[in-house]
Structure 1
Amino acid sequence: MTPDNHVDLQPAARDNLWMHFTRQGAFATSDVPIITRGEGAYVWDAQGRRYLDALSGLYVTQIGHGRRELGEAAAKQMAELEFFPIWTFAHPRAIELAERLASFAPGDLNRVFFTSGGGEAVESAWKLAKQYYKMTGRPNKHKVISRRISYHGTTQGALSITGMPAYKSVFEPLVPSTVHVPNTNFYRAPEHGDDPVAFGRWAAAQIEDAIIAEGPDSVAAVFLEPVQNAGGCFTPPPGYFQLVREICDRHDVLLVSDEVICGFGRLGEWFGAIKYGFQPDIITCAKGLTSGYAPMGAMIASDRLMEPFLEGNNTFLHGYTFGGHPVCAAVAMANLDIFEREGILDHVRQNEGPFRDTMNKLSDLDIVGDVRGAGYFLALELVKDKSTKETFNDDEAERLLRGFLSKELYDSGIYCRTDDRGDPIVQLSPPLICDQSHFDEIEFILRDVLTRAQKML
């Protein structure tokens, strides 16, 4: 494979491009990695080197890279209607996609509000909850409960819901009225570490305790991911979501399933709520909706939440210029066509066991304390002492993750995530088209790099 033929982009990359969540100073003396093309489960950089995309971009490219069919769908839509807002007016693609998403969503989640991405979907859900309660005679219900270390977006509201103080402190004061409770990290369970069912009851009870402490008349919603991303793929204990649903019903609180990552096949179902058998009042989603071929998100709400807006002049006083964009909606429809035609959900369900089994092989390394997750969404928690589960201090985590693993994994031909928002992890979220050959390649590269990482401890 020869390098892509283009001008040297390094000066402009350093001088003009402000990358997201990036230490810009890291490139003062080194080149910015520039990815120029992708095909299937792989991407190539400007020097022609190939990398297995074991993170699906950022939990996004469900059907893999280079699907010309989606580009053709976009071009066809641009020639017909390139843009029109869904403010008072509608257009065919938004209508068709809304109907399709409603058919996938569980229960009576039939009302689809389009956004440009996941953070906007979360923001929309909180605003809907607050306005809904004001319109139905409970104006003081405005607070949100979410979990520690959780990530729900970067807008001021979504960042307030996010449970990571380090991400928030530089932007304070944020939107008030958010409360954070323990997450479902069973590996480090503070209670009932030998009984997942009892641990689930304990974790759910923390939500009810928070609602009671704040006052049920003040709490509007609980925001939870089916599998929590930040911290490393915390799965729900048995019965956890059923208990949370009962708690929310008992106190008249909305349950929001944040499926920005978990939706559209990542866990082997259209939505994680289906996998874990619970009924949310709202689903927030994005990423896999278009497999990243166009930016789009959605808030999917129950018929009950729409009811007050069907009366008289009532209006949800909220919207986005690009929500329901015709080109993005056409791309989403083509993406979902591929899902159904190629049996993507069945493929994930059939291969999630082999994927997990292959990654479990890495448990024989002293540095790998836990392998957890669901579907095509796994994390390896790294530890300093496996027998005691001792983790790394901040300096050690910095040297391990950013000083060694990030570069070595990339140089070894794999794109994945090393993360220290909780305890240090390596996170894996490959395209949903991947099979055993890709799992073996991931395991082979991780084994080599993690073995070398052990020697530097």
Structure 2
Amino acid sequence: MTATVTVNQHDRYQVGVRDHLMLHFSQHAKLRDGVEIPVIDRAEGVYVFDTSGRRYLDALSCLFCAQLGYSYGAEFASAATKQLTSMPFNTTWNTAHPAAIELAERLADLAPAGINRAFFTSGGSESVEAAWKMVRQYHLANGEPGRVKAVARRTAYHGVTLGALSFTGIPAFKEQFGPPAVEVGHAPNTNRFRAPDGDDLTAFTARILAETEETILAAGPDTVGMLIAEPLQNAGGCFTAPDGYWPGLRALADKYGILLVADEVITGFGRLGEYFAVSATGTTPDLITIAKGLTSSYAPMGAVMVSDRVAEPFFRAGQTLMHGITFGGHPLSAAIALQNIEIFERDRILDHVRVLTPHLKTRMHALAELPIVGDVRGDGFFFAAELVTGAGNERLGDADRDFLVRQYIPSRFREAGLIARADDRGEPLVQIAPPLVSTQAELDTVVDALHDVLVDAGDKIGLSDGR
């Protein structure tokens, strides 16, 4: 395919961004200084193309959303046309429609046993907030109105709307917005790098579970309503959970009468080779939040998967579920989600991820040989490499950290034709999450480009002589 945008159109779009479009999580002053941003106007396979004609391999799946890449448009358009020409919109407020019902049925089939109902939202933050409101109503209905607090994990990201922001464990995201809507205690995450017992998984797991219990006790066990965690934590850099950790969370939740929520907004729908990554832990949570991969980004949608136990109070006489979202379960989004599941099954997407994960893991872990990389972690099609200053794994200084994460690496990624993430919500790192349809050759292209960028980044801070 050839570019269809002229030079003048490219310039016009840059002016339009600068003068009219508010970008998410962006420093707008750079636009006033003449810094151009990629304006993506088309996509194909695992590649996206900007208005200057540059091609990028999208190794971040457009923020963990584009599970199927960008070549299924015709199939999704057909599903959308069928839905829009029969019944374009209906709510799920005391009515229902076939697409939402059929999607809820399919999700119940895919979810862990005992999780049989879906509450639809428009995205991830909405799903987390809806989960909290259901948790509150559950405890109220069962005569425990004092369960007004929650426990989440340090550095974890659970959304930035004011309710979801309460659970997010990144202080810099929260401080300027005042007291949180929900009182939340933050327990340890599962980062083993630099932990004194990180090489002893049994000891490490026992310790962080004990500290999680201490967080519950400090809050007052009878005041805690929810314990929320991701099966693989995104923020901070792809923290995997050791064996025994999720069963330990389940045991703590049961011990203290707390509902356990698996936040699968990122890990759900194939990122780790499962529809629901928590399934691989042998643990069934009480609620699961999903979004992003539910439609593979071909339409906005999220959901809260609800266990029979949590749903039970809402079927009592006179009980009303006091939460609703206008576009939750939108017929168009539901039809696209159903088509997404059909493609996942037909094209054996989960099997594809499982087959290629060992190769990607081997390639990624080889990056630890670079002097700028201290740790590589992740699973499935989701990995991070933490940046350090050499053999002793010393932390980057503030100046090097700011230069690499906010300036050099993002620019160097674009030069390399790669969309990936440089992040420092915890320690500085680079992160990839390629589309689940990526071939082995495309995964190799991602890692090769990442290797070259990291070598150059090391050179920039004086690590070219090795460890």
The alignment's TM-score, normalised by the length of structure 2, stands at 0.96
1:178-206 residue CA offsets vs partner (Å, 9 max, x unmatched): 110111101132x4122012101111111
The aligned counterpart of 2:85 is 79
How do 1:266-415 and structure 2 match up within 5 A?
266-385=271-390, 387-415=391-419
The aligned counterpart of 1:164 is 170
How do 1:59-74 and structure 2 match up within 5 A?
59-67=64-72, 68-74=74-80
The aligned counterpart of 1:211 is 216
Once structures 1 and 2 are overlaid, which stretch shifts more, 269-278 or 292-301? 269-278
Q: Could you tell me how far 1:287 is from its partner in structure 2?
A: 0.2
**27, 50, 56: which one pairs with 1:51?**
56
| Identical residues among aligned pairs (%) | 48
Contact 1:2 1:47 (8 Å CA) reproduced: no
CA distance in 1, matches of 2:4, 2:211: 54
1:326-355 residue CA offsets vs partner (Å, 9 max, x unmatched): 000000000110000000001111110001
The aligned counterpart of 2:464 is none
Large movers: runs of 4+ above 4 Å: none
The aligned counterpart of 2:29 is 25
One-letter amino acid of the structure 2 residue matched with residue 207 of structure 1:
T
The aligned counterpart of 2:142 is 136
Contact 1:4 1:47 (8 Å CA) reproduced: no
Tell me how large the CA RMSD over aligned residues is: 1.1
Contact 2:238 2:378 (8 Å CA) reproduced: yes
Q: Could you tell me how far 1:2 is from its partner in structure 2?
A: 4.3
Contact 2:185 2:216 (8 Å CA) reproduced: no
One-letter amino acid of the structure 2 residue matched with residue 435 of structure 1:
T
1:47-104 residue CA offsets vs partner (Å, 9 max, x unmatched): 1111000000010111111312012211211111111111000000000000000111
The alignment's TM-score, normalised by the length of structure 1, stands at 0.98
Q: Which runs of 5+ in 2 are unaligned?
A: 462-467
Contact 1:82 1:327 (8 Å CA) reproduced: yes
1:205-263 residue CA offsets vs partner (Å, 9 max, x unmatched): 11111111211110001000000000000000121111111111111111100000000
**Other structure's SS at 1:257 match:** strand
Once structures 1 and 2 are overlaid, which stretch shifts more, 388-397 or 424-433? 388-397
**Other structure's SS at 1:255 match:** strand
CA distance in 1, matches of 2:250, 2:182: 24
**167, 177, 188: which one pairs with 2:183?**
177
Q: Could you tell me how far 1:116 is from its partner in structure 2?
A: 0.2
**440, 445, 449: which one pairs with 1:441?**
445
Contact 2:60 2:435 (8 Å CA) reproduced: yes
CA distance in 2, matches of 1:105, 1:143: 27
**Residue 239 (structure 2) pairs with residue 234 (structure 1):** yes
CA distance in 2, matches of 1:425, 1:72: 40
Contact 1:14 1:32 (8 Å CA) reproduced: no
Q: Could you tell me how far 1:393 is from its partner in structure 2?
A: 2.6
The aligned counterpart of 1:5 is 5
The aligned counterpart of 2:110 is 104
Contact 2:150 2:182 (8 Å CA) reproduced: no
Q: Could you tell me how far 1:155 is from its partner in structure 2?
A: 1.1
1:93-136 residue CA offsets vs partner (Å, 9 max, x unmatched): 00000000011110211111000001000001111111110111
Q: Could you tell me how far 1:388 is from its partner in structure 2?
A: 2.2
